[in-house]
Amino acid sequence: MILCLKSKSINDIKQQLQNKPVIMPLTDSEKKALLDIARSSIESHLLDKGIEIQANSPALLDKRGAFVSLHKWGHLRGCIGSFTSDIPLYKTVSDMAIAAATQDPRFMPVDYEEMKSISLEISVLSPLKETDPSDIEVGRHGIYIIKGRNRGVLLPQVATEHGFDRVRFLEETCLKAGLEPDDWKRGATILTFEAEIFLEPK
């Protein structure tokens, strides 16, 4: 899975590192609500209908980053997200779902009929943490690498899906950033995050 990122400035990222809220896991009902919001937001957008979403759960009102991925017949069809957000989580999911369906530059926009063949995956993120490479745990951490103007991110599930070890995961994130594979050893800032990952039932 390769990702498109709604960019935030390095100052935004530093601010997030300084302000780390205590994050409680989402309940099953909250996860279902976010999946329903993501799908209804995309379908309403594609039909040019007004998007009416709301949430009452405090967890869905938290200001957290999230990625939304679209899959079609087992293949990626779009993925966009943001590490930080100044709006409630449920609205971030709505916005990222629409963006993943219509703005991912690697794919043609999704059309309404195609949504019948598409499944959604949401990754709700923890705050970023600057990390020593030796502390990265494959399957637990996602990686965000910054060097100069280059930046790249891979979600935790990428490593497990592709059988990467820790070094390969770092190298692939560097490549995603447009860097040399071993630039993680040479002055890059390495940030990690965790994610609650959940999918629509098949």
Amino acid making up residue 32: K
Q: How is 144-165 classified by DSSP, letter by letter?
A: EEEETTEEEEE-HHHHHHHT--
Spatial distance between the Cα atoms of 93 and 79, rounded to a whole number of angstroms: 12
CB 63 within 8 A of CB 82: no
In the sheet where 75-82 sits, what is the strand order?
4-5, 75-82, 66-72, 118-125, 195-199
> What pLDDT does residue 104 have?
96
Q: What is the 3-state secondary structure (H, E, C) of 58-79?
A: HHHHCCCCEEEEEEECCEEEEE
80: helix, coil or strand?
A: strand
Q: What is the CA radius of gyration of the chain?
A: 17
- pLDDT tens digits, residue range 123-172? 999 989 999 999 999 999 999 999 999 999 999 999 999 999 999 999 99
Closest to 147 in 3D by CA, of 4, 10, 3: 10
Residue 139, number of CB atoms within 10 A of its CB? 10
Residues in the chain, pLDDT under 70: 1-23
Superfamily of domain 4-16+28-50+59-125: Hypothetical protein ph0010; domain 1 (3.30.700.20)
CB 1 within 8 A of CB 157: yes
Domain boundaries, the chain: 4-16+28-50+59-125, 129-194
Superfamily of domain 129-194: Hypothetical protein ph0010; domain 2 (3.30.1490.150)
Q: Which residue do the tokens 């995309």 mark?
A: 42
Closest to 124 in 3D by CA, of 86, 100, 96: 96
Spatial distance between the Cα atoms of 189 and 26, rounded to a whole number of angstroms: 29
Amino acid making up residue 166: R
